[in-house]
Amino acid sequence: AALALLCGSAAAVGVWKWLGKRQIQKKMEEAQRTRDEGVKKMAKAVQQFREQVPHVQTDAILSLPLLELTGRLQEGSLSPKTVLYTYLEKALEVTQQTNCLRHFIPECEEQLQEIQQQREKGLLYGIPVSIKDHIGHKGHLVTCGLVQCLGTPVQEDSVLVKVLKKQGAIPFAMTNVPQSLFNYDCSNPIFGQTLNPLNHQKSPGGSSGGEGALIAGGGSILGIGSDIGGSIRLPSSFCGLCGLKPTAERLRWVLGVWRTHLLNADIFSCPNPVLCALGPMARDVDSLALCMKALLCQEMFWLDPTVPPIPFNEEVYSSSAPLRVGYYDTDSYFPLPPCMRRAVQETRGALQAAGHQLVPFSPPRIHYVMNELFLKTFFADGGRAWLDVFTGDIVDPNLKSQVNCCKIPKLGKKLLALILKPLVTIPPPLKSLKNIATISTCRSVKEMWNHHHHIEAYRTEFIARWRELRLDVVLCPVLGPAFTTGYPGKLLTAISSTMLYNVLNFPAGVVPVSTVTEADEEELKLYQGCCDDPWDRTLKQAVAGAVGLPVAVQCVALPWQEELCLRFMKEVETLSREK
């Protein structure tokens, strides 16, 4: 009888698990079906427009830089409808090749009518804009690639979307993201893997990877992403775009459903010393500057009084005064591929030749920032709250290693800590694995506040070094070139170059300056990284086969100096194009 009861219980558990998985599968299939139907409807609408207006100069419109396109729209030589449908048609083509869109926004046609009723044409009048999956748009889901987020659509536009619309922009598409946003690849079990339009074997980066792929493929001229560890800058680097991570509080953060599902987790909860920032992604720096100018307006400050009322400073952006530039080509934590260091050195030379003053700079204690400040911020509770977002979900293969580390029982973590503790010469990536596996938790409120204090103390130390050298800005590397799909999940610690400036909350942007050459590929074969360990060899595999792909640099300024950061980015862009 006892055996029968045991067998019956086991069978019941098995059936219950099967029913749960079937329910998840049904929700995923429904989401996929809804997306596919939306694509078909948009394709039909584009076809109808084509029949009505058969002689649109599609290539000419798509080739216009944002500043020129806004000028043509403002003067009336191009109509918003023609521009919108031109980009819709191109976006359909790009997503067919790369799977970059999560959903079209059919209300874009209503917005098209709305802007024609506005008394004044905003700075982004008639410009189609794409937005990342978790930026709230009324009537649409905010999924973060999670099944549990497939329920209730957002009830009102986020502040950022409201301001975009006020400025005459037309949000037309929401782009794909990695599951839970905690990866710099771009795949999730619901909507699948997004590919890099420049090379379909490569990742577009993440977590704003759908944006990167859509813009790089020509299907959008301006996009909005978010960045809490490099999520704007890494896709910009991988896809050859310009992207800006502002000081986190400079633009209104997005809440909505995303807060309900993810901000409950300690990873994103408040008070959090490392904040997520919204920012623009585009083909050139002038586009980023125009977007920031449009967003930093009275409408933004009125809708959210917690945003500092600091309008865009055009004088700083337009200045041509020589800059005092700190530079480094490695942070000595995770050595980057040779082409990324070459990009910094060539840019340094070009800046010096252009009359700027270049000063060697070494960021302090990067090992401490990555192994202590970064990981303890994101896994303050041992990763338990992050694991909760996967309840009733299928974990994406690219996240399984991180999820499994967090699932290690406390006893297992203690044993792992004991095994690794005697290793004095442990390489940096293994140190990070040790910290993820042993999860350096905050065991009390006092420990949490001490952790916040340590981050503030580090910021003070970093700024003091910056001031000692009297720097205006800093030139440094960014992770790249584009990784082969699947590799970002294996190399979480490789993001030290971008993560540093999230911990510091400094504005930082990425500018493409070169491409991978055959010589770079040959030099990569000799790359040994930190100590020619498995992580270094994995990085070699991740970036191999990248000839012709973009190579970028990172430009940094002090907090609240987005205009100076953009001005420096513009200088770098101009010099690289001249070269």
Residue pLDDT, tens place only, 196-213: 999 999 999 999 999 999
Which of 262-276, 285-299, 363-377, 485-499: highest mean pLDDT? 285-299
**pLDDT (average), residues 268-272:** 51
Provide the token pair at 8.
Answer: 């019956």
**pLDDT (average), residues 15-41:** 88
Confirm whether 132 is a catalytic residue.
yes
- Among residues 231, 287, 514, 576, which one is catalytic? 231
**Other residues' Cβ atoms within 10 Å of the Cβ of residue 61:** 18
Report pLDDT for 392: 81
Q: Are strands 222-227 and 128-132 parallel, antiparallel or unpaired?
A: parallel
pTM of the predicted protein model: 0.94
Element spanning 175, H or E: strand 170-175
Which letter does DSSP use for residue 443 in this model?
-
Rounded CA-CA distance 578/516 in Å is 18
Lowest mean pLDDT among 93-102, 171-180, 269-278, 539-548: 269-278
Residues 6+ positions from 145 with CB-CB distance below 8 Å: 133, 176, 177, 178, 179, 180, 181, 187, 188, 189, 190, 191, 396
Taking the mean position of all CA atoms in its chain, how far away is CA 422?
Answer: 37
Report pLDDT for 258: 40
Report pLDDT for 471: 98
Q: Could you give the percent of the chain with pLDDT greater than 70?
A: 89
Residue 195 has pLDDT above 70, yes or no: yes
Confirm whether 231 is a catalytic residue.
yes
Residue 8 has pLDDT above 70, yes or no: no
Between the alpha carbon of residue 91 and those of residues 23, 87, 140, 196, 463, the distances in Å are 32, 6, 19, 14, 43
Report pLDDT for 256: 41
Taking the mean position of all CA atoms in its chain, how far away is CA 115?
Answer: 29
Report pLDDT for 421: 61
**pLDDT (average), residues 488-513:** 95
Report pLDDT for 152: 87
Of residues 415 and 214, more confidence is placed in 214
Report pLDDT for 22: 87
Report pLDDT for 271: 55
Report pLDDT for 44: 98
Report pLDDT for 436: 56
**Other residues' Cβ atoms within 10 Å of the Cβ of residue 517:** 15
pLDDT band at 433 (very low <50, low <70, confident <90, very high): low
Residue numbers in the known binding site for substrate are 181, 207, 228-231
Lowest mean pLDDT among 140-144, 285-289, 387-391: 387-391
pLDDT band at 7 (very low <50, low <70, confident <90, very high): low
Lowest mean pLDDT among 148-152, 170-174, 459-463, 527-531: 527-531
What torsion do the CA atoms of 497, 503, 506, 508 make, to the nearest 10 degrees? 30
User: Cβ(161)–Cβ(303) under 8 Å?
Assistant: no
Rounded CA-CA distance 361/554 in Å is 14
Of residues 535 and 177, more confidence is placed in 177
- Rounded to the nearest integer, the mean pLDDT of the chain is 90
Of residues 454 and 412, more confidence is placed in 454
Report pLDDT for 267: 39
Report pLDDT for 270: 44
Rounded CA-CA distance 139/348 in Å is 48
Lowest mean pLDDT among 48-52, 243-247, 266-270, 310-314: 266-270
Rounded CA-CA distance 473/258 in Å is 34
Q: Which domains does the chain have, with CATH numbers?
A: 27-307 (3.90.1300.10), 318-380+442-578 (3.90.1300.10)
Residue 132 has pLDDT above 90, yes or no: yes
Of residues 91 and 440, more confidence is placed in 91
**Other residues' Cβ atoms within 10 Å of the Cβ of residue 45:** 17
Report pLDDT for 391: 85
**pLDDT (average), residues 5-18:** 65
Element spanning 238, H or E: helix 233-239
Which of 5-9, 129-133, 266-270: highest mean pLDDT? 129-133
Of residues 226 and 379, more confidence is placed in 226
Residue 268 has pLDDT above 70, yes or no: no
**pLDDT (average), residues 166-176:** 98
Report pLDDT for 443: 75
Rounded CA-CA distance 255/269 in Å is 12
- Among residues 207, 208, 432, 576, which one is catalytic? 207
Taking the mean position of all CA atoms in its chain, how far away is CA 239?
Answer: 12
- Among residues 132, 202, 376, 434, which one is catalytic? 132
Provide the token pair at 453.
Answer: 């204090």
Residue numbers in the known binding site are 181, 207, 228-231
pLDDT band at 18 (very low <50, low <70, confident <90, very high): low
**pLDDT (average), residues 230-257:** 88
Between the alpha carbon of residue 205 and those of residues 111, 169, 188, 453, 463, the distances in Å are 30, 26, 13, 32, 30
User: Cβ(84)–Cβ(126) under 8 Å?
Assistant: yes
Rounded CA-CA distance 223/242 in Å is 11
Residue 232 has pLDDT above 80, yes or no: yes
Residue 380 has pLDDT above 80, yes or no: no
Confirm whether 579 is a catalytic residue.
no
